[in-house]
A = this chain, B = another copy of it.
Amino acid sequence: MKAIVLFAHGARDPRWAAPFERLQKLTQDALPEVAVRLSFLEFMSPALPALVAELAQQGCQQISVVPVFLGQGGHVLRDLPLILDSLRADYPAIQFRHSGAVGEDAGVLMAMRDYCVTQI
């Protein structure tokens, strides 16, 4: 069993999570054989360690973490790698991968450009 974890910042306002929940559903619909899950750095749950514990119990062998952040600052470049180092030590049988932030993707950037130009 493989999993994709959409890793987002989290916020106090529950309305903040709406697009992340839609993204999870769209990604899950596109990859029915993969467990697509949301996880948050702070304010919202599950945190990454709790989610990985659950996925490990379900027999997950590969977890790909996608940072659903626009910019790559301390959370993506420092906090996430530290969490992943700790998880790799705790779950040596699971293969962990992680990608760049979604905001660094050229396709996402062009879609944001297309949205911005219509706002004048």
Give chain A interface residues in 65-116, CB to chain B under 8 Å. Answer: 66, 68-74, 77, 97, 99, 101-105, 107-116
A6 at the interface (CB under 8 A from B): yes
* A25–chain B nearest beta-carbon distance, Å: 9
Are the C-beta atoms of A117 and B27 separated by less than 8 Å? yes
Size class of the A contact interface (CB-based, 8 Å): 35 or more
Q: Which residues of B contact A74 (CB under 8 A)?
A: 11-13
Does the CB pair B105–A71 fall under 8 Å?
Answer: no
Q: Which residues of B contact A110 (CB under 8 A)?
A: 26, 111
A108 lies within 8 A of B112 (CB): yes
Jot down 24 A-B pairs with beta carbons below 8 A, ordered by A: A4-B119, A4-B120, A8-B70, A15-B77, A16-B71, A18-B72, A20-B70, A20-B71, A23-B116, A27-B113, A27-B117, A30-B117, A64-B120, A66-B116, A69-B70, A97-B119, A99-B119, A102-B112, A102-B115, A105-B112, A105-B115, A107-B114, A108-B108, A111-B111
